[in-house]
Amino acid sequence: MRFLLTPRWIGFFLAVLAFAVVCVLMGDWQWQKREVRHASNELVEKHLAIAPVPLDEVVPAGGKVAKDQEWTRVLVEGRYDPTSQVTVKFRTRDGRPGAEVVTPLLLEDGTAVLVDRGWVPTANTSAAPEDVPAPPTGRVEVEGWLRPDNGAGDEAVVPVDGQVRSISSVGVGSTLPYPVRSGYLNLRGQTGGTGGLELEPEPDLGGGPHFFYGLQWWFFAALAIGGFVWFARAEWLERRRPDARTDDQARDTSSA
């Protein structure tokens, strides 16, 4: 097996080793993402199983929605402001083009919270939808999932012609005459009904592809090491052939 100490085989081994190490690290990274996903799913399941609580008990006025508060079920009362309603374009459902309808809900303390009232199908264009169902009039009680602001830039969250691409209380609030609470609500129910809008589906609590991606990377690492062993054994067997033994010294010298 002296041929393994030649520069050609040493270089081959180092390349295989580097590739295998990278694959192992990538597999570990996918496994860590899987564990984060599981922890997040457990937190979401916990929030969804708890009865709704008043919004102020979760995030008081002036507070910011934390990531670990996402999907908390909250209750809030107020009056919708349909004059400041915006739509979120390019939102598909089951392959269908559409938009989400976001309407500020004015609260007793003079602040407002954005409510994503649901989804409406639209033409496959960037134009704002027409004939959007109006929100209930008068005082309403709203139950919804608490969601944090989208962190996209101003070009995506500040309304242009009544439309945005992502929901942010900061972006929409910059165009309103009253202060807006952090985050927004995905409507789950309210007095007066949903007006025919399709509500946000429950969050995906699957494990994602990270388990299989991790196994795939580790398999590549094992395949690389196994390939090196296979090629080394093949050359070793080749060198053991009777008609090849006389050439061993010459081959080792030329390889060096």
In the chain the first and final C-alpha atoms are separated, in Å, by 14
The residues facing 88 across adjacent strands are 100, 164
The residues facing 190 across adjacent strands are 142
Shared-domain flag, residues 143 and 102: yes
Number of H helices and E strands in the chain, helices first, is 7, 8
Q: Is residue 198 part of a domain?
A: no
Q: What is the pLDDT of residues 1-11, one digit of tens each?
A: 777 778 888 89
* pLDDT above 70: percentage of residues in the chain: 94
Distance in angstroms (rounded) separating the CA atoms of residues 90 and 10? 54
Q: Is residue 58 part of a domain?
A: no
Shared-domain flag, residues 175 and 214: no
Q: Is residue 82 part of a domain?
A: yes
Residue 178's pLDDT is what?
94
Shared-domain flag, residues 179 and 83: yes
Q: Is residue 199 part of a domain?
A: no
Q: Which of the four pLDDT bands, split at 50, 70 and 90, describes residue 251?
A: low
Shared-domain flag, residues 242 and 172: no
Tell me how many domains the chain contains. Answer: 2
- Asked whether the beta carbons of 172 and 116 are under 8 A apart, the reply is no
- DSSP, collapsed to helix, strand or coil, labels residue 153 as coil
Centroid of chain to Cα 66: 16
Of 164, 190, 216, at which residue does a domain stop?
A: 190
Distance in angstroms (rounded) separating the CA atoms of residues 3 and 48? 64
Shared-domain flag, residues 19 and 84: no
Shared-domain flag, residues 146 and 98: yes
**Class of residue 17 by CB neighbours under 10 A (exposed 0-12, middle 13-18, buried 19+):** middle
Q: Is residue 196 part of a domain?
A: no
Shared-domain flag, residues 239 and 139: no
Q: Is residue 59 part of a domain?
A: no
- Give me the amino acid identity at 180: V
Q: Which two tokens stand for residue 165?
A: 């691409």
Q: What is the pLDDT of residues 13-53, one digit of tens each?
A: 899 999 999 999 999 998 888 888 877 778 888 888 889 99
Q: Is residue 234 pLDDT above 70, yes or no?
A: yes
Q: Which two tokens stand for residue 111?
A: 């602040």
Of 190, 219, 236, at which residue does a domain stop?
A: 190
Range of the domain at 145: 72-190
Q: Which two tokens stand for residue 52?
A: 């709704």
Task: Name which residue leads in pLDDT, 250 or 134.
Answer: 134
Shared-domain flag, residues 90 and 21: no
Q: What is the pLDDT of residues 67-86, one digit of tens each?
A: 889 999 999 999 999 999 99
- Please give the model's pTM, rounded to 2 decimal places: 0.73
Mean pLDDT of 94-115: 94
Shared-domain flag, residues 212 and 173: no
Arithmetic mean of pLDDT over the chain: 87
Q: Is residue 51 part of a domain?
A: no
Task: Name which residue leads in pLDDT, 166 or 192.
Answer: 166
Shared-domain flag, residues 119 and 182: yes
Q: Is residue 80 part of a domain?
A: yes
Q: Which of the four pLDDT bands, split at 50, 70 and 90, describes residue 248?
A: low
